[in-house]
Amino acid sequence: MKRSSKTMAVLVTVFAVSIVLLSVNVASAQAVPEWVKNTALWYGEGIVSEGEFLNMIKFLVENKVIVIDSIAEPVPQAVDAQVVIPNGNYDVTGAGFYSPLNMEIPVGSTVTWVNDDSVPHNIQSINQDGKVIQLFNSPPLNTGDRFEHTFEEEGVYKYYCSFHPWRVGLVTVY
Ligand SMILES: [Cu+2]
């Protein structure tokens, strides 16, 4: 009993999804050809093969009697994002982490780092071993200076400041 009610739930779900995806063009429905009606009837009676029946449905879709609305996948919009190098970031004993410490952005987004600290910093992309790589690398940024980079590929990008290498940040591009 339990099993069949589960099956029923699945069937209802599938049916509900179908309603969203399929809509019948009423104007065209009045013009459903006789052979289509016959094919459906004969399929039910086992006279017509499944292949012929499916071809008939294909015909209805191609001629827009059955309209299939495609559900577009939402494409994440690229953004302009900002990472603050906060006041006190230079201090190894302080909590002046990059804000946010892990910047999560869609592909194509641009990150701008802003130095809000009282001393110069830089932004150097590093690999998993902590070695500097030439991906996004800023000159020294004085207080108020900015540096930006546009991320065109998915991935997790690490960076640090070569003056204060204990300050490591992340950019996650999805
Ligand atoms: Cu620094």
Determine the distance separating the centroid of ligand 1 and the alpha carbon of 80, expressed in angstroms: 23
| The two structure tokens encoding residue 121 | 């910093």
Q: Which residues pair with 99 in a beta bridge?
A: 84
Of 103, 84, 111, 114, nearest to 156 (Cα)? Answer: 103
Local structure of residue 49 (DSSP, 8 states): -
Residue 161 burial by Cβ neighbours in a 10 Å radius (0-12, 13-18, 19+): buried
pLDDT digits (tens, 9 = 90+) for 63-111: 888 887 777 777 889 999 999 999 999 999 999 999 999 999 999 999 9
89 CA to middle of ligand 1, Å? 7
CA 141 to ligand 1 centroid distance, Å: 9
Res. 23: pLDDT tops 70: no
CB under 5 Å of ion ligand 1: residues: 121, 161, 163-164
Distance in Å from the first CA to the final CA of the chain = 45
Question: pLDDT exceeding 70 applies to what percent of the chain?
Answer: 83
In which band, very low, low, confident or very high, does the pLDDT at 47 lie, cut at 50, 70 and 90? Answer: very high
Predicted local confidence at residue 22, as pLDDT? 61
Does the model's pTM come out above 0.75? no
Res 26: pLDDT: 62
Report the separation in Å between the CA atom of 88 and the middle of ligand 1, taken as the mean of its atom positions.
Answer: 10
Type of residue numbered 25: N
Distance of CA 87 to the CA centre of its chain: 34
Tell me the pLDDT band of 19, cut-offs 50, 70 and 90.
very low
Q: Could you tell me the distance, in angstroms and rounded to a whole number, from the CA of residue 90 to the centre of ligand 1?
A: 5
Residues 6+ apart with CB under 8 A from 121: 85, 89, 90, 115, 140, 141, 161, 163, 164, 167
Residue 96: φ, ψ to 5°: -70, 60
Cα(168) to centroid(ligand 1), Å? 10
